Chains A and B, each alone.
Chain A
């Protein structure tokens, strides 16, 4: 208290300044900023819960067996579903995974094992990071120029190639990390047994790193399944099943793939601007199905990665 008097000098301690009370401007600022940060963090969670709540409310209302077994309704009609769009999404994402998963994992093997410090690896890693930032619509533009304009029509493979482009960097970068995490003693034991580098990769590294690699694949699949922009002018949309003969939902020939293919994401986009209530309600139901699919795959992938870390 002395320090407050007229005789206070620079070297006496102002005890009041050490008081931790809200009357002090600096402690008050501290408390206010802490409160503000907490409020901002909680507010940022609002959109997620609002989205999930509305999906459950508006999407759940429409959800029934018909939604999975029927075709999209025309304007002014009631009922209907989006069975063909679910199949279409699965087909397009499968094509994308069939291209990007082997490609990405083997490229990652090179980055992590065969030449981690080479100049090639530096260039490839940089290219993968550049691909990470590629806007999804430009993947569609590329697939349009490289596949649609050459093959002469919209098709499931065109959409699959666009999605594969978006999946590739995620798979490469996570698989590289997963392979690097394999304990050095396992590698050394295998090399000591006289394995060739290829045997080491297939017998030791890939099996051991498989949970981590699978996490990357699942995150990539979850992202690809929700993408709309790359499909808008590559796979486009279709109101029909994938094939003409029984069972109609199953594509049975190459011809069934080489035509416009429906997908959940494009259906939501198309129906969201529809003036008809029935189509808007179906868009909500489709969004619910899509989000459940995406979140299940995403959460399963994250659970796998937690298990992989424990190993």
Chain B
């Protein structure tokens, strides 16, 4: 008897011949005809389903476009410049909605960008570590291994918290906006309107829902997108750039503003564009907070309407004529968001290629 090491193979008598030697032929065998056929079929199916994804994107565009076609012929380009939406008289125009979509998105984006980029810098430039190290040195715990790993732990916790910010459903943000944000901003809005009402930005008073609360909630919703992608862009900046700036005597912020942010600028810009795409398509929170008024006003306290909110409000009870017009509006929203998202993706790709040259 040959002594074989005790593996799972030797406990299976079928795989051993009478001498206890592993019979190689019984383990390795060519694939049966069934295996080959199954392999062909599965690979074909995988290729088919992969193309299915492309097909779905085309199907979405073609389907919405075909249902919208009668409305496109009936209303033409006047649909975009019209300002009235009246299903009873079959007059449809979406200029106020296009304006409201862009206006709320841009204000939300400005606020979201300030906070998002600040968070990205905070998480990528080791602020937490230096604060905590400073604090620990003061109390004499700097060498303690548990406290030493504290910055990494808190950074991980912050990242999870930010991801949770993105995980909360937009309908819950809408509910929160109605009962928290609107009462919170109302006194400020009234004060600004009373004292600075001559500025068009503060031209009307806030009567509940409006552009400002909607934009604030939008800012919260785009913030995780912007901060996560900007952080990746900042982390991807080669360390030697930072070290060179520090070595020349730059303060931390001179290095950030003069060297690191410019190097990561393309990536940060890409994140802002993707956030813009998200803001343009956001529906429910805006339908709950924007006020759904068919007006064009520069005042940030005035109510407004957006393309997505128009769809959400009118679709459930629309008749056949109105459904056609709504499909036309959906097609325009689809075109705008697809364009913005593709531009954002292309910018991010370029950012990656640009940093490769710096390394």
Binding site for B on A (CB under 8 A): 18, 26-27, 29-30, 33-34, 36-38, 40-41, 43-45, 47-48, 50-51, 54-55, 58, 103, 106-107, 109-111, 114-115, 120-121, 123-124, 127-138, 140-142, 144-146, 149, 165, 168, 172, 193-199, 201, 222-223, 225-229, 232-233, 236, 265, 268-269, 272-273, 283-284, 287, 290-291, 294-295, 298-299, 302
Which of B15-23, B40-48, B82-90, B144-152 forms contacts with chain A?
B40-48
Contact assessment for A298 and B164 in the assembled complex, using a CB-CB cutoff below 8 Å: yes
Q: Does B172 contact A (CB under 8 A)?
A: yes
Contact assessment for A50 and B176 in the assembled complex, using a CB-CB cutoff below 8 Å: yes
- 9 A–B contacts from the bound complex (CB under 8 Å): A44-B118, A47-B165, A130-B342, A131-B57, A140-B311, A226-B171, A269-B284, A298-B163, A298-B164
Contact assessment for A107 and B50 in the assembled complex, using a CB-CB cutoff below 8 Å: yes
Which of B29, B31, B57 contacts A130 (CB under 8 A)? B57
Contact assessment for A48 and B168 in the assembled complex, using a CB-CB cutoff below 8 Å: yes
Contact assessment for A41 and B172 in the assembled complex, using a CB-CB cutoff below 8 Å: no
Query: Cα distance A135–B278 when bound, in Å?
Result: 7
Query: Cα distance A130–B337 when bound, in Å?
Result: 9
Contact assessment for A106 and B45 in the assembled complex, using a CB-CB cutoff below 8 Å: yes
Contact assessment for A30 and B254 in the assembled complex, using a CB-CB cutoff below 8 Å: yes
Contact assessment for B122 and A37 in the assembled complex, using a CB-CB cutoff below 8 Å: yes
Contacts of B116 in A (CB 8 A): 44
Which of B31, B38, B59, B327 contacts A141 (CB under 8 A)? B327
Interface majority SS (helix, strand, loop, mixed), chain B: helix
Asked if A172 meets B53 with Cβ closer than 8 Å, knowing A50-B176, A134-B281, the reply is yes
Contact assessment for A124 and B28 in the assembled complex, using a CB-CB cutoff below 8 Å: no
Give min CB distance, B181 to chain A, whole Å.
9
Give min CB distance, A113 to chain B, whole Å.
8
Asked if A294 meets B254 with Cβ closer than 8 Å, knowing A37-B121, A50-B176, the reply is no
Contact assessment for A137 and B281 in the assembled complex, using a CB-CB cutoff below 8 Å: yes
Query: Cα distance A290–B123 when bound, in Å?
Result: 30
Contact assessment for A111 and B50 in the assembled complex, using a CB-CB cutoff below 8 Å: yes
Asked if A228 meets B168 with Cβ closer than 8 Å, knowing A130-B342, A137-B311, the reply is no
Asked if A265 meets B220 with Cβ closer than 8 Å, knowing A145-B67, A201-B42, the reply is no
Query: What 5 pairs across the A-B complex have the smallest Cβ distances?
Result: A135-B281, A226-B169, A133-B341, A40-B118, A229-B283
Contacts of B39 in A (CB 8 A): 196-199
Which of B1-9, B194-202, B245-253, B297-305 forms contacts with chain A?
B245-253
Contacts of B207 in A (CB 8 A): none
Which of B49, B119, B284 contacts A41 (CB under 8 A)? B119
